[in-house]
Chains A and B, each alone.
Chain A
Amino acid sequence: AQSVTQPDIHITVSEGASLELRCNYSYGATPYLFWYVQSPGQGLQLLLKYFSGDTLVQGIKGFEAEFKRSQSSFNLRKPSVHWSDAAEYFCAVGFPGGGADGLTFGKGTHLIIQP
């Protein structure tokens, strides 16, 4: 069965430090991969996406993510976080041909920024 896992429920990072949020999926083929960010009480904003091609993708707000087929992972990274990055981050996966329409979301990672 297809699934998406975000292993970290909470992550605390100091302002200016680097960040990596983990996302793993289970699927027999290459899925379509997305990262969304959600500030409290707001909608979801698309940070970046991967369909095919170059496995390192750049997104908005200085974020990047790397698709690693061998690890079934799509981890989100940022070299230096800002206090405004504090939010909930969702990894979302589309499973083409998998029988489900649309996106499957991970449970989310809550990012806390320490001054």
Chain B
Amino acid sequence: DTEVTQTPKHLVMGMTNKKSLKCEQHMGHRAMYWYKQKAKKPPELMFVYSYEKLSINESVPSRFSPECPNSSLLNLHLHALQPEDSALYLCASSPPTGTEHYEQYFGPGTRLTVT
């Protein structure tokens, strides 16, 4: 099973709202990623978790707060977002080490609209 699931599929939120995006995988991968993708652009890396610990934060604003409660789950908590944060948010996973570490499997994404 190479499936990564993400919920919700679509999310509309106001700038004062608090919401969360969820990601789940059951491939036994111990590296998980959040990407942001604007229209007609490649994905941009936001966060990397390795063995449930945050290993990379690509200078993402604090209004985005990641959480990895266990080896299968990854959350992205959203608070006080701006309209320019509207994008497709993608979750991915991979083995944490070795050549396969670079072989990432992506979820279908959450389409976020900030009003």
Contacts and interface: CB of A to CB of B under 8 A. Distances in A.
For chain A, give the interface size range: 20 to 34
Nearest to B50: A101
For chain B, give the interface size range: 20 to 34
Given A101-B56, A107-B41, A107-B42, A44 B102 contact: no
Nearest to A41: B111
18 contacts: A32-B99, A32-B103, A42-B109, A43-B4, A43-B107, A45-B106, A90-B42, A96-B102, A101-B48, A101-B56, A102-B45, A102-B94, A102-B104, A105-B43, A106-B42, A107-B41, A107-B42, A108-B41
Nearest to B33: A102
B104 to A, nearest CB: 6
Given A102-B45, A103-B104, 6 more contacts: A41-B109, A41-B111, A46-B104, A90-B42, A96-B102, A106-B42
Contacts, number: 58
Contacts of A51: 99
A90 to B, nearest CB: 6
Contacts of B33: 102
Interface in B54-69: 55-56
A106 B101 CA distance: 19
Contact of B102 (A34, A36, A45, A106): A34
A43 B109 contact: yes
Nearest to A32: B102
A96 to B, nearest CB: 8
A42 B108 CA distance: 5
A25 to B, nearest CB: 13
